[in-house]
């Protein structure tokens, strides 16, 4: 019985380490690269979210659904919290594709400012890049029409 418990603990530890490893740690330099319009040659959504934000999950669900039917844009998610074992769960449950970042050891305020100097921490926050040098940001729940307009993608293929 003790060996089973040990195996269970080891399996849980491995799963927790794997989940945390799915996220790239975000520092100010990486944040600056993520929000530089020159880094995005295709339409891109950068979704700022938190594991406890219900409205964030609404946006993530929409983005995931849109990505399944339209491969003309990229999706990048940024968890505005440090990585922990269950952080990937909301993204995995919604089948959210794309790169995943989570706040690193720098101050959350500094990272937030590096991502968007006009952002005051409200969630969800979405930064849109049209792939041609254009950039816009919105706070709150967005609609598919708003997303398509911000990305310059008027209709699904």
* Residue-level pLDDT at 154: 79
Residue 151 has pLDDT above 80, yes or no: yes
Residue 106 has pLDDT above 80, yes or no: yes
Residue 139 forms part of a structural domain: yes
**CA dist 115 → 27, 40, 108, 110, 146 (Å):** 10, 15, 11, 9, 21
Structural domain harbouring 132: 2-151
Residue 156 forms part of a structural domain: no
pLDDT one-digit tens code per residue, 77-104: 999 999 999 999 999 999 999 999 999 9
pLDDT one-digit tens code per residue, 20-78: 449 999 999 999 999 999 999 999 999 999 999 999 999 999 999 999 999 999 999 99
What's the predicted TM-score (pTM) here? Answer: 0.85
Residue 72 forms part of a structural domain: yes
Instruction: Give CA–CA dist 153/65, Å, rounded.
Output: 15
Residue 157 forms part of a structural domain: no
């Amino acid at each position: 019985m003790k060996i089973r418990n040990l195996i269970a603990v080891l399996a849980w530890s491995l799963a927790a380490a794997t989940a945390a490893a799915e996220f790239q740690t975000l520092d100010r330099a990486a944040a600056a690269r993520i929000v530089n319009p020159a880094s995005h040659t295709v339409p891109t959504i950068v979704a700022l979210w938190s594991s406890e934000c219900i409205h964030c999950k609404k946006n993530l669900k929409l983005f995931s659904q849109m990505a399944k039917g339209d491969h003309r844009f990229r999706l990048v998610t940024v968890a505005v919290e440090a990585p922990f074992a269950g952080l990937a769960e909301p993204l995995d449950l919604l089948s959210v594709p794309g790169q995943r970042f989570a706040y690193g050891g720098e101050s959350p305020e500094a990272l937030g400012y590096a991502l968007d100097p006009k952002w005051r921490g409200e969630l969800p926050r979405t930064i849109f890049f049209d792939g041609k040098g254009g950039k816009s940001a919105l706070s709150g729940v967005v609609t598919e029409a708003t997303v398509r307009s911000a990305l310059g993608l008027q209709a699904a293929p």
